[in-house]
Structure 1
Amino acid sequence: MKNLKLKICGMKHPENISEVATLQPDYIGFIFYEKTPRFFEGKIPQLDSEIKKTGVFVNASPDYILEKVKKHKLRAVQLHGGESAEFCQELKIIFAGMDRMEIIKVFSVKEEFDFSVLQEFEGIVDYFLFDTKGKTKGGTGETFNWELLKDYPSSTPFFLSGGIGLDEVEAIKKLQNYFKKQDKKELLYAVDINSRFESEPGLKDVEKLERFKKQF
């Protein structure tokens, strides 16, 4: 995807996971949060080592996160709750002896966002992720005001998430071009897609995913 990584999140069914993996996304996400219909309880099938298995957690304990990391051989953790910078630092220390573990910290956005809240996480997490603010965690199917990202003050690369489907392709390309013109093309690191590519929660439409991937 020409300098733009792809994360497909909310996977649940082993056969569907294997089908999605044939598209060679950069990340595949599994949600370890019981209050979502995409809660993952199964066994992850064998995936290409280049695909980073990512665990999504919401205010989970370090022990619970570490258990899932070891069990599923995760390469990244995505923190979707109110985790503090101190918590992220604690995880970073825990992961220090592991090979290439990444920490992604999520922030929910609607019509406005105070970017100053990112400062304490700088140098601790590997990436930020901006998702659409909703009543529940994840899967709103709605985008937020991406114009806000033009004021992004950080040097930490970020994932773009929240309601992304085939109709958002041109808007993503425009945002890519904006950062490219600012000589900051590396900041928009990845897109994270989920509910807009499902036939039911956790079951992805591989054909639609392939059409999306081919746009970039």
Structure 2
Amino acid sequence: MKYPDNILEVGTLLPDYMGFIFWEKSARYFDGTLPTLPQSIKKIGVFVNANKEEIEAQVLKHDLQAVQLHGQESVAFCHELKNTLANTTEIIKVFSVDDTFDFNQLEPFETVCDYFLFDTKGKLPGGNGTTFDWKVLEQYPSQKPFFLSGGIGLDEIDLVKQILKTDLPIIAIDVNSKFEIEAGLKNKEELDRFKQKINF
């Protein structure tokens, strides 16, 4: 999310989470002041290889309840960040997935992250607008809850419903580019339709 009026508009749908990108190279880069949202909405700051001080500053400035790490952050970095934020802020570690993804690399992150997020491997660290083959998730070896992301829109509703019927510990469906009028500006009506049909 990027524009204050649009943030408030989408906020009326009461999503569980709302994301704000603090990576300057992104077309969705947020550098404004967050409007007051309903308390039930957790605000996520999205970072790409940012340093600990930068993340902590944005968490304090915008009262973020979660951080999403979209770069090559190490296990040690996640551990240090978790201690710095005193366990008051959820840590979501992102992994870009393709058909050859090795789920064994997740194990060291189990104790230093609250959730994983699986996105489609692409040219950008996110927002590529394409869906990876969710069949690879059948290999998921963990009970750590995760966010499912990557090119999810209205056309994927049936697929989403199918995967939600499995035993996979999916805690959130992450939607972004397929609901955009332009980068960072979301179509509230389409988001509302998606939410009503998924009923997650």
Give the SS at the match of 1:173: helix
Structure-2 separation of matches of 1:101 and 1:16: 25
Partner of 1:208: 190
Indicate yes or no: 2:108 matched with 1:127.
Answer: no
Is residue 73 of structure 2 the alignment partner of residue 83 of structure 1? yes
* DSSP 3-state at the match of 1:120: helix
Q: Deviations over 1:131-186 (max 9, x none)?
A: 0111112111100010011111012100000000011111111111122xxxx5xx
Aligned counterpart in structure 2 of residue 117 of structure 1, from 84, 105, 129:
105
1:47 corresponds to 2:29: no
Q: Matches of residues 40-189 of structure 1 in structure 2 within 5 Å?
A: 40-96=30-86, 100-179=88-167, 187-189=169-171
Q: Distance in 2 between matches of 1:23 and 1:65?
A: 27
| Distance in 1 separating the partners of 2:166 and 2:37 | 34
- Residue equivalent to 1:29: 19
3-state SS of the aligned residue for 1:135?
Answer: coil
Q: Distance in 2 between matches of 1:21 and 1:112?
A: 37
Q: Aligned partners of 1:137, 1:79: CA distance in 2, in Å?
A: 10
Task: Give deviations 1:96-140, integer Å, cap 9, x for gaps.
Answer: 1x6x31000000012221000001101110000000111112111
Gaps of 5+ in 1: 1-10
Q: CA separation in 1, counterparts of 2:97 and 2:112?
A: 21
**1:39 to partner: Cα distance:** 0.3
Q: Which contiguous aligned blocks of 4+ residues in structure 1 show a shift greater than 3 angstroms?
A: none
Cα-to-partner distance string for 1:179-207 (whole Å, 9 max, x where unaligned): 2xxxx5xx111110000000100000000
Code of the residue aligned with 1:49 in structure 2: it is: Q
Give the letter aligned to residue 90 of structure 1: E
Q: TM-score, normalised by structure 2?
A: 0.97
Helix, strand or coil for the counterpart of 1:159? strand
Distance in 2 between residues matched to 1:42 and 1:146, nearest whole Å: 35
Which residue, out of 147, 167, 172, partners 1:190? 172
Identity %: 57
CA distance in 1, matches of 2:14, 2:144: 25
Cross-structure match for 2:10:
20
AA aligned opposite 1:206: K
Structure 1 CA distance, aligned partners of 2:140 and 2:112? 18
Matching residue's letter, 1:213:
K
User: CA deviation digits over 1:41-79, x for unaligned, max 9?
Assistant: 011100011100100000000000000000000000000
**Unmatched segments (≥5 aa) in structure 2:** none
CA RMSD, 1 decimal: 0.9
